[in-house]
Structure 1
Amino acid sequence: MKQIKAKEPIRLRAKKLSNGNQSLYLDFYKDGKREYEFLKLYVVQERSKEDKDKNVQTLKLANAIKAKKIVELQNNEHGFKTNSVKSKANFITYIDSFVEGLPKDTKGYNGYICTMQGLKYHLTKYKGENFTFKDVDRKFLLGFSEYLKTAKVSTRAVKEGGRTLAQCTQWNYFNKFSLLLSKAKREGVIANNPISELETGDRPQRAEPRRTYLILDEVKKLASTNFRRDDIKRAFLFSCLCGLRISDVRSLKWCNIQQDSKENVRLELIQQKTGGLLYLPISPEAMKQLPEKSDNSELIFGRLPDNSYIDKLLKIWAKDAGITKNLTFHVARHTFATLGLTYGAELYTVSKLLGHSDIKITQIYADVINEKRRDAVNAIPSITE
């Protein structure tokens, strides 16, 4: 049988230095790109027997490194995991180091950090704190996907029987998990990404966004209905009229409200979710929902209770007002967007008022309004027999 001479995937090369020595490096292709890895090994000019012996040993070491790299490269190409120390790294620790290294000027930094903390919480609930990259395989991923379907939201106030994760939240956590695994593969921590072994139906799917909102008559009903917590009532109606998220309403202080010489009022604040600076004009109607002013450093709505308790109270308020929709604070934000578009505001303007980084995010509200308009047109009775 004729011997087949295989072309080496990695070549050992030398770069001549200004002092006459040569720096050894590896020359290879990875994922279609040419790469160089300098070994910090040097062949010196041979002026003595010691120099010659030293060079022999240096070349032996360089070729040993090359041989090891060839095995690792071939393992990667064929999907085999190497027994590297990196693959035994703790995954939860990897998340912590990723979060710590994330630049604070990253777009949507606060929201990204919040999602990563949620992912860490649920991975720990699913498998504990001591699993490694080596443990993350197809079976692990399938199990985590199933876990997310019944997982409770990571809030201290939610006890047994509390709310489960929304479908979009399940998708978001799994997506961030996938991104971390992709990053680990790029860094050589794992040889292949087990996510690639999943079928489309094996992982949480992104839900079509549904937007529950109130029409103007429903907002008026709530305003005229008694509510046991005046602070929550004011905060909710204020959000309906300016579109602030609950996290921003919580942190809102009197010093965030600015007034110019023409008595126009606006809010200036750093958004809790995105970290972006928001300049938001406030209407006289929204100003009516604010309590009596106190010190500039004080929270406008005081210390609001946690979200789960607020949601319970909002359901009672909605029932008393004769409203069947499931009220949450995000409904108030949706209400502001749809009211603005309904009464003639441009999509771009509403996008800026909501603090959206991309107008595509706001487009869903325009679709809601267009559907509402179609329903109104289709409701016109027939004028022919």
Structure 2
Amino acid sequence: MGRLKKSKVEKSPFKLRQRQLADGRISLFIDHIHNGKHSYEFLKLYLLPETSEKIRRENNRTARLADDILRKRIEEYFEKEADRIGERDLAETPLSEFIDILIAEKKRKNNRTNQFVTVKGNLQLFHPDTRMCDIDKRYCIDYADWLRHTCVSRLGKPLAPQTTFNYFWHLGIILSNAYRMGYIRQNPWCLLDSSDKIREPERQHRFLTLDEVRILEDTPYHHELVKRAFLFSCFCGLRISDVLNIKWSDIYSNNGLTYVSIIMKKTSRPISIPLTAKALHWLPERNDDSPRIFRGLPSETQINKHLKKWVSEAGISGNIHYHVSRHTYGTMLMTAGVDLYTASKLMGHSDIRATQVYSQIIDKKKQEAVSLIDDVF
């Protein structure tokens, strides 16, 4: 099957660009592409060389202001596109085109869209050329059955239960938005019985116990930077996407504490985390030749291969990948008695329900411990 074409609605003709000036400043401007021609809107906003923490924070405010202007230009553009599309009966809109509109709306709000792009491709494989008016209760039930028994991954394997659940429930999100925006008069998702829907499987979050962390600390590994990065994340909870880009300028001291302050790549949310002595211990020696702290780390795929080998050498079983470090940090917080609200802020969660997972893990471990006592006696 050929590669799916992107809708014109999904594409924005506006891009935020940078230009280095002779005095060291970086000028921010918007590049507007129309009919193959470029026009430029210079914002009179400048990023200064980051010689102090105050300037770094000012640059962050300037960058956010430029992003706000860009989003406004994009929003105005897509409002015109929506008006153009609205000239015909909305119910006749192809499902793929509506998903493009939904993706564009989420991009304007800086929300993640990867899952919607994937689901769009799956829905086109399931029933090509589907219109909004074609979607009913039977369509939803058949889609659930197709995901369970027919749809396969890129490697040709059946979908994992969690993936099946995610794809199916994204159809529900799409239909809820279609009803909200007037593309359908009745939401067929509301007609489904609980038995018609795919249920979410119970998640198994692998994490390292304190003893396992100590074993890894004592186990040498030839790729020292991989070891340092992983243990650093165990004690601060940063994702690999953030660790790969973290800079020395992101670390600062205030009132005797050392913090790392970044904008998380996954959520685009700013976060400032106080670093423990353990986290600071696993930072590599500072190299003035590079602003990045963990410069030289391999790709995430290669890092996970290193982790499997290192963990095996340490005698620890289980599927250990880099994100296990974040789960480990979360369970450490719960074990230490940190309240849910504080833990959610330390981990950068926008929804406290994501943090509750770690509390549930600890509760389950307590129940297992009590059961062991009952078994002994």
| Band of TM-score, shorter chain | 0.5 to 0.7
In structure 2, distance between residues paired with 1:142 and 1:337: 37
In the alignment, is residue 184 of structure 1 matched against residue 178 of structure 2? yes
Alpha carbons of structure 1 residues 214 and 205: separation in structure 2 relative to 1, 3 Å: same
In structure 2, distance between residues paired with 1:192 and 1:121: 24
1:138/1:194 contact within 8 Å kept? yes
Alpha carbons of structure 1 residues 205 and 250: separation in structure 2 relative to 1, 3 Å: farther
Which residue of 1 is the match for residue 83 of structure 2?
none
In structure 2, distance between residues paired with 1:369 and 1:135: 46
Give the letter for the 2:261 counterpart.
Answer: E
Q: Offset at 1:138?
A: 4.2
Q: Offset at 1:188?
A: 3.3
In structure 1, distance between residues paired with 2:126 and 2:333: 43
In the alignment, is residue 235 of structure 1 matched against residue 229 of structure 2? yes
In the alignment, is residue 204 of structure 1 matched against residue 203 of structure 2? no
1:255/1:297 contact within 8 Å kept? no
SS at match of 1:242: coil
In the alignment, is residue 367 of structure 1 matched against residue 360 of structure 2? yes
In structure 2, distance between residues paired with 1:306 and 1:265: 28
In structure 1, distance between residues paired with 2:299 and 2:127: 28
**5+ long unaligned stretches in structure 1:** 1-83, 154-158
Q: Offset at 1:257?
A: 1.4
In the alignment, is residue 324 of structure 1 matched against residue 317 of structure 2? yes
1:254/1:294 contact within 8 Å kept? no
Q: Offset at 1:324?
A: 1.5
CA RMSD of superposed structures (Å): 3.2
1:213/1:331 contact within 8 Å kept? yes
SS at match of 1:102: helix
Which residue of 1 is the match for residue 104 of structure 2?
100
Alpha carbons of structure 1 residues 146 and 305: separation in structure 2 relative to 1, 3 Å: farther
Which residue of 2 is the match for residue 195 of structure 1?
189
Q: Which has the larger radius of gyration?
A: 1
Give the letter for the 1:160 counterpart.
Answer: L
TM-score of the superposed pair, with normalisation by structure 2? 0.65
Instruction: Spell out the pairing of 1:314-353 with structure 2 (5 A cutoff).
Output: 314-353=307-346
Q: Which residue among 273, 279, 299 is the counterpart of 1:280?
A: 273
Alpha carbons of structure 1 residues 142 and 299: separation in structure 2 relative to 1, 3 Å: farther
2:349/2:355 contact within 8 Å kept? yes
In structure 1, distance between residues paired with 2:320 and 2:201: 20
Which residue of 2 is the match for residue 144 of structure 1?
143
In structure 2, distance between residues paired with 1:179 and 1:381: 45
Which residue of 2 is the match for residue 118 of structure 1?
118
1:314/1:327 contact within 8 Å kept? yes
Q: Offset at 1:336?
A: 0.8
Q: Offset at 1:180?
A: 1.8
- Percent identity at matched positions? 36
Q: Offset at 1:152?
A: 5.9
Give the letter for the 2:94 counterpart.
Answer: N
SS at match of 2:294: coil
Give the letter for the 1:345 counterpart.
Answer: V
In the alignment, is residue 160 of structure 1 matched against residue 164 of structure 2? no
TM-score of the superposed pair, with normalisation by structure 1? 0.64
Q: Offset at 1:114?
A: 3.3
SS at match of 2:284: coil
**5+ long unaligned stretches in structure 2:** 1-87
In structure 2, distance between residues paired with 1:344 and 1:189: 48
Which of 374-383 and 274-283 deviates more? 374-383
Q: Offset at 1:323?
A: 1.3
In structure 1, distance between residues paired with 2:122 and 2:296: 28
Alpha carbons of structure 1 residues 278 and 322: separation in structure 2 relative to 1, 3 Å: same
2:259/2:274 contact within 8 Å kept? yes
Instruction: Identify the structure with bigger relative contact order (alpha carbons < 8 Å, sequence gap 6+).
Output: 1
Alpha carbons of structure 1 residues 123 and 260: separation in structure 2 relative to 1, 3 Å: same
Give the letter for the 1:315 counterpart.
Answer: K
Instruction: Spell out the pairing of 1:65-80 with structure 2 (5 A cutoff).
Output: none
SS at match of 1:233: helix
2:107/2:113 contact within 8 Å kept? no
Aligned residues: 289
In the alignment, is residue 266 of structure 1 matched against residue 254 of structure 2? no
Q: Offset at 1:126?
A: 4.2
Instruction: Spell out the pairing of 1:242-257 with structure 2 (5 A cutoff).
Output: 242-257=236-251
